[in-house]
Amino acid sequence: MQHTDIHTLGLPPIDQIGFVVRDLDAAIERYAPMFGPFSTMDGPVEAADFRGATCDVELKLAFGHTGEVEIELIQWLSGSSPHSEFIQAGREGIHHIRFNVGDCDAWIERVAAIGYAPIWYKYLVEREMKFAYLERADDPLLIEFIQMP
């Protein structure tokens, strides 16, 4: 039987590193020399599936880059999400890595073989976009899959 791990799955390159921060403005100032300039936006997510419940969340977001990799800074404001859990656990910093995949649901099934399970999922019908955050036991880093047209 072939050993399955993250490298043998054939995932595309990481296209985003997400940081959860307590103060977006302070984080932009801190990280601008490395990843700036940043663009900012409000990030409401309505009716996403979070741990089996339908939840709304309010976020403030900033986006920078290092080479081809997007750097996302996320300040949680309200609602239940992976970001609220992270902040409420007293954490701040690198939260997730993202992969842009062609079929989000198929990739969720594939990474189940190495212990990942989805905890936050949303299909944005009007944008034909899906995203999922996944976790696995004893691993503090989440992965995100995004499917865009």
Read off the pLDDT of residues 76-124 as tens digits, 9 standing for 90 and up. 999 999 999 999 999 999 999 999 999 999 999 999 999 999 999 999 9
Q: Tell whether 4 is covered by a domain.
A: no
What mean pLDDT, rounded, does the chain reach? 95
| C-alpha–C-alpha distance, residues 130 and 121, integer Å | 7
| C-alpha–C-alpha distance, residues 118 and 145, integer Å | 10
Work out the percent of the chain whose per-residue pLDDT is above 70: 95
Domain that holds residue 33: 14-147
More confident residue, 4 or 132: 132
Q: Tell whether 74 is covered by a domain.
A: yes
Q: Is 111 helix (H, G, I), strand (E, B) or coil?
A: helix
Q: Tell whether 7 is covered by a domain.
A: no
pTM, two decimal places: 0.93
Q: Tell whether 2 is covered by a domain.
A: no
Can you give the pLDDT at residue 47?
97
| C-alpha–C-alpha distance, residues 39 and 28, integer Å | 10
| Residue 95, domain CATH | 3.10.180.10
